[in-house]
Structure 1
């Protein structure tokens, strides 16, 4: 992959921070506040895919006015206030205008029909707030996405929502007239990562993985095209690396372990090339998780320890907590109970320090439910079924309903632990709950777990409820 050419250029006028919005967030982390925004949206039957990065952009003043969906949610969260009270500019003052005033317009240049304009900073919300469910924006791309979400299945949804780049994915790179890329492409790349994660949270990986390959190819083509600003280059490298990790996770969760390993390695190489310790820690984190699932526990321990070395300067206790859990999973795979217990204690201690401003945006999934779920997996690997079931039950109970896939995952873990712990009736009930969720969730990992549970329950097929679970499970399509 070629390195981006970075030269100096005139910087645009910096945005004015939205201090009013920052005060409303209070002591909550950006990820926690984003979760509160999503909960408020569900209360009024609105759908927004808010995350920590979106909150950060609002507070930095990069989004001067939200779209209509977010406006309704914010006004619901803070009744009696106007958009101006929340620190936003009136819609009439920003609609249809770029961040530059007329005297700051860039010199004329030729643009490629395949690319959007490079170095324009958006002030009216586009990428990070143009939610695919928003029915009030009239942009052509939003209309296409809206129809896909209204009428299509998961695969159609993925096809529409993974293409915000404004680039024709199918055209060979040699056929494109390349120019220096800028903030529009960087924002589109970050949006692709966000939408993949959102769809995975709701639907699982199986229907998404193949659709995500084209945006990933495009991401690295953007790096080869180069940019005129170091800050934009940094965003492109980080975005490409995070996209490689997201696509790797889709491969991981759908049972394509070798593909996942390749994508994680690509993300790690990108992190090393750009000197990005946060991306390096994330890549090693996922590598450790994959190694554990692939039956390479010693590699899992070493990768988790490497992730912790990269993450220490970042100052995020929650990130270090997650990485300690990854290490614990490796020790459990080595049947090293003392090593596992020590890592679990460290993970719990770090978690209790609470969220911080330095928590990476991709960690919005990591809350108390995930902590319980990962600990359940450790005890299950060690064969302590009773303790594993207790933690899995807590995980399923604590999980935010937004993370449908995780609810199915924790419940599948619970069913398996109960079955192996000699409680077939309860295991069958949990298994039936997972089957109810499989209409929304497509995850080979979860289906593999259920298949294992079914095998354990076969000797108990005459027990109350077990036969119903086994019959429904037998009707599932075979995993290919």
Structure 2
């Protein structure tokens, strides 16, 4: 039976700048201090790296040896020897940490298990009640001092923060173009290898604030891509921890964005009241600091939640407010991460709202505007809006046109890696069931059956 390589141990050794032979001798030394005669060579280290699990006592010696060498504390989990992720550790991901250093530890635990597709992490359940504490704590938070790094690993400067932000933007573009499943492992690895060590470094107050904000952006994208990939419990945990980093950074606008993302996910999962609360908290907590564009996006999330809840009046009001703010916005006030929220994106939100409210003619007006303005490079956005358009024709009792549009959407989607997209396709197939026998509908169903057997 083949074993999985212990990539977590390899990463810990890299961070500690420790070779196989070096670790072997250090482990022996730690064991001797504990009164244990332990024969350990580079061959044993090689076997550990290949996935062989040592005895519990030896694992503790390894963690202690690496901790001393690196100047930071490594737990058994930090060296890949804590066993599979426990439910207790998963629960910690749902908690809003009192101390900022706890956030870094939790995010490392999530990313490491994410990287090896740990079933307990991948299949973790969403806990709707877990959104409440972060929402309230963030709303009532006050400025706080940043943790003092030990400075033993790296001195962090403005250029390091710029590099993190630029790299995050690259991953964000890949997400928009190819879906959350594309290059996601590389994003998680980037956080583990490049971002996390910076949080333990030495920095000035101003650089530290920017660093924690940039790290929160990375964690936000990890959460968003997990959501798009259907890993909802993992996504919820990433976003909660990202919100805590944004709070530490004093970045209220980014905190609002994270609550907006939580609202988006809650709405998608059918938790409409919580989606409304999260979107409103995003607005209230970032008043006076959020740009017109970001505030419009928060209002759009509220509108989407009202639409899911079947409240036409509240949806229309929130959408009107979003449009008014968007029309008067000053793009110079916008952070880089909101650049995706343009006229096409706002029109797309309107299309989703009126699709959910079963007002197909109004929805089609928004669809037309969105299709006209969307850059063809954004395959996921175009696939979503085409499928929304197809749904509006089903609602009008025009299955032929719906099937034709849906066929175009599936063909244009290509190798899009998005479970949200697949749900749109699945939902449309369900809507079209009553029209079985129709030539265009059957042709669409055959296309879906061949391309996506699991949802046909």
Range of TM-score over shorter length: 0.5 to 0.7
Please tell me whether residue 336 in structure 1 is matched to residue 306 in structure 2: no
2:334 counterpart SS class: coil
Aligned equivalents of 1:243, 1:250: Cα separation in 2: 11
- From 294, 297, 300, the equivalent of 1:322 is 297
Aligned equivalents of 2:197, 2:207: Cα separation in 1: 11
Aligned equivalents of 1:478, 1:209: Cα separation in 2: 24
Please tell me whether residue 386 in structure 1 is matched to residue 387 in structure 2: no
- From 217, 225, 231, the equivalent of 1:242 is 217
The structural deviation recorded for 1:388 is: 2.2
The structural deviation recorded for 1:478 is: 4.2
The structural deviation recorded for 1:315 is: 5.0
Please tell me whether residue 425 in structure 1 is matched to residue 400 in structure 2: yes
Residue in 1 aligned with 2:5?
none
Residue in 1 aligned with 2:53?
none
8 Å contact kept, 2:212–2:249? yes
Residue in 2 aligned with 1:441?
416
8 Å contact kept, 1:267–1:279? no
2:181 counterpart SS class: coil
Aligned equivalents of 2:454, 2:231: Cα separation in 1: 12
Please tell me whether residue 416 in structure 1 is matched to residue 391 in structure 2: yes
2:332 counterpart SS class: coil
Question: Structure 1, residues 73-130: CA drift from partner, whole Å, max 9, x if none?
Answer: xxxxxxxxxxxxxxxxxxxxxxxxxxxxxxxxxxxxxxx9xxxxxxxxxxxxxxxxxx
8 Å contact kept, 2:176–2:380? yes
Worse-superposed segment, 367-376 or 349-358:
349-358
Residue in 2 aligned with 1:34?
none
Worse-superposed segment, 420-429 or 262-271:
420-429
More helix by share: 2
Residue in 2 aligned with 1:215?
190
8 Å contact kept, 2:161–2:210? yes
2:426 counterpart SS class: helix
Closer, same or farther in 2 for the Cα pair 1:441/1:324, shift >3 Å?
same
- From 447, 450, 456, the equivalent of 1:475 is 450
Aligned equivalents of 1:212, 1:478: Cα separation in 2: 29
Residue in 2 aligned with 1:131?
none
Please tell me whether residue 405 in structure 1 is matched to residue 380 in structure 2: yes
Closer, same or farther in 2 for the Cα pair 1:340/1:240, shift >3 Å?
same
8 Å contact kept, 1:223–1:237? no
Please tell me whether residue 203 in structure 1 is matched to residue 178 in structure 2: yes
CA RMSD of aligned residues (A): 2.3
Residue in 2 aligned with 1:10?
none
Aligned equivalents of 1:463, 1:187: Cα separation in 2: 55
2:447 counterpart SS class: helix
- Which protein is bigger by CA-based radius of gyration? 2
Residue in 1 aligned with 2:241?
266
Closer, same or farther in 2 for the Cα pair 1:228/1:206, shift >3 Å?
closer
Aligned equivalents of 1:193, 1:298: Cα separation in 2: 31
8 Å contact kept, 2:253–2:294? no
Please tell me whether residue 363 in structure 1 is matched to residue 338 in structure 2: yes
Please tell me whether residue 465 in structure 1 is matched to residue 440 in structure 2: yes
Closer, same or farther in 2 for the Cα pair 1:286/1:209, shift >3 Å?
same
Aligned equivalents of 1:397, 1:460: Cα separation in 2: 30
Closer, same or farther in 2 for the Cα pair 1:390/1:218, shift >3 Å?
same
The structural deviation recorded for 1:225 is: 1.9
The structural deviation recorded for 1:350 is: 1.0
The structural deviation recorded for 1:258 is: 1.2
8 Å contact kept, 1:208–1:250? no
Structure 2 unpaired stretches of 5+: 1-69, 71-114, 116-150
In the alignment of these two chains, the number of paired residues is: 307
Aligned equivalents of 1:464, 1:268: Cα separation in 2: 49
Please tell me whether residue 285 in structure 1 is matched to residue 260 in structure 2: yes
Aligned equivalents of 2:315, 2:153: Cα separation in 1: 51
Structure 1 unpaired stretches of 5+: 1-111, 113-158, 160-175
The structural deviation recorded for 1:330 is: 1.6
Closer, same or farther in 2 for the Cα pair 1:237/1:403, shift >3 Å?
same
Aligned equivalents of 1:177, 1:272: Cα separation in 2: 25
Q: TM-score, normalised by structure 1?
A: 0.60
The structural deviation recorded for 1:205 is: 1.0
Please tell me whether residue 253 in structure 1 is matched to residue 228 in structure 2: yes
Residue in 2 aligned with 1:224?
199
Residue in 2 aligned with 1:373?
348
8 Å contact kept, 2:276–2:306? yes
Closer, same or farther in 2 for the Cα pair 1:181/1:303, shift >3 Å?
same
The structural deviation recorded for 1:453 is: 0.9
Aligned equivalents of 2:433, 2:277: Cα separation in 1: 38
Aligned equivalents of 1:475, 1:317: Cα separation in 2: 45
Aligned equivalents of 1:416, 1:392: Cα separation in 2: 11
Question: Structure 1, residues 381-406: CA drift from partner, whole Å, max 9, x if none?
Answer: 22223322332233123211232221
